[in-house]
Amino acid sequence: MIETGLAYVVSLVLIVSVIKVTEKKSGWRFFEYLPGIVILYFSAMLLASFGLWQKNESIQITSNLLKSNLLPAMIFLMLLGADIRQIMKLGKRMLLSFFLASLSIGIGFIGMFSMFHTYFETDAWKAFAALSGSWMGGTGNMVAIQGALGVPDSKMGYALLIDSIDYALWVMILLALVPFAKYFNRWSKADTSIIDEVSRKLSVNISNKKKSLLTLLILLSISLFISWICQYGASFLPTTAFLSPSTWVVIIATILGILFAMTPLARLAGAVDIGSYLLYGLVALIASGADIAEFSQAPFYIFSGFIVILIHALLMILFAKLFRLDLFSIGVASLANIGGVASAPILASAYSGTLIPIGVLMAMMGYIVGTFGGLMVGKILQVIVL
């Protein structure tokens, strides 16, 4: 049994490294259906459940210290690639599709929770707030909201479980609908020529610079400095029942990430790589405090996730008819929210290779709105419980 903070950190780094390297180098199709970050969570949780780490003061202090310092750094790094100037090149119709998708997902969570909140524990709204952040952005947004709202580690397991299972089915459905796009567009009376025009005009800045030890150290140093700035600045801001110092830290880090994405710092290669490793580390820290015995309601949580997606799908069909949106726009907008940068470009490429940049930029926009959107949904879910 591990009893010291240092041994605890070393064991988590080892687990993260093994899973990260295996996912990247093995080429196993298994990871297409079950992402490495989900495997990491449940691996760490199982080890914690079997008592690998002793839940003593030393390990708890180490865990809290790492989470509070690494979270704002991760948020900042993940947002460095989300240049809002590039996103604005998507055009009005694409932006409308994206925000309608975000809105319908938020309504889906509110509608589902209004119907079933009496069947959940009183703090379940926090888990769904974190999940809504993921489904409007990505896993990084989910972890950001977990830190902002103090979501219990066990509840994060439910959120990741829903995110993995329900999302996988939704991706398959959207890919299966691609051949029927012309029939849907005829029904919605969509003007598909706009997509081709946006695709031609769209440019995505892909850095040709290679990562170096110097650039990685610069990015890591700046992100940790930003982390300190966020925590220091948050201590001076007013707090409420919802806006805690942790929430302010997340908000400040998000704003700084958006602003610095428009500076030369964003052109340094490696921000996403470091941010990804920090994200994996944070998930491992969260999972190490969970227990498999607390997963008694997993089937109902998964069912609730499908209800959210059903409401989202019905609303997007309605919006498509009202605003004459095509299947490509609403489909990629949906996956840019629910799936993020890993899946939105895949669906875009299923329509045409020239449309991939649209999927990438839509997904990057999710990183910007996901945290704020999830916090707003969380506030409404909290009111429903009260």
Average pLDDT over residues 100-107: 96
Q: Give the per-residue pLDDT at 194.
A: 65
Q: Does residue 277 lie within any of the structural domains?
A: no
Write out the residue range of the structural domain in which residue 344 sits: 71-272+290-385
Q: Does residue 7 lie within any of the structural domains?
A: no
Q: What is the pLDDT of residues 45-59, one digit of tens each?
A: 888 888 888 778 889
Phi and psi at 53, nearest 5°, equal: -110, 130
Q: Give the per-residue pLDDT at 198.
A: 63
Q: Does residue 278 lie within any of the structural domains?
A: no
Q: What is the pLDDT of residues 293-307, one digit of tens each?
A: 666 678 899 999 999
Q: Does residue 300 lie within any of the structural domains?
A: yes
Q: Does residue 26 lie within any of the structural domains?
A: no
DSSP 149-216: HT--HHHHHHHHHHHHHHHHHHHHHHHHTGGGHHHHHHHHT--THHHHHHHHH-------PPP-HHHH
Q: Does residue 358 lie within any of the structural domains?
A: yes
Average pLDDT over residues 111-121: 92
Average pLDDT over residues 265-281: 86
- How many domains would you assign to the chain? 1
Residue spans of alpha helices (H) in the chain:
5-25, 30-33, 36-49, 57-79, 84-87, 92-116, 124-136, 139-149, 153-176, 181-188, 193-201, 213-234, 245-260, 271-287, 298-323, 327-338, 344-351, 356-385
Relative orientation angle of helices 153-176 and 36-49, to the nearest 10 degrees: 150
Classify residue 378 by its DSSP letter: H
Q: Does residue 55 lie within any of the structural domains?
A: no
In this prediction the pTM is 0.77
Average pLDDT over residues 341-356: 74
Cβ neighbors of 201 (< 8 A, separation 6 or more) are 89
- In this predicted structure, the answer to whether residue 357 has a pLDDT above a threshold of 80 is no
Q: Which of 55-69, 123-137, 165-179, 202-216 has the lowest mean pLDDT?
A: 202-216
Q: Does residue 48 lie within any of the structural domains?
A: no
Handedness of CA 112, 113, 115, 117 (dihedral sign): positive
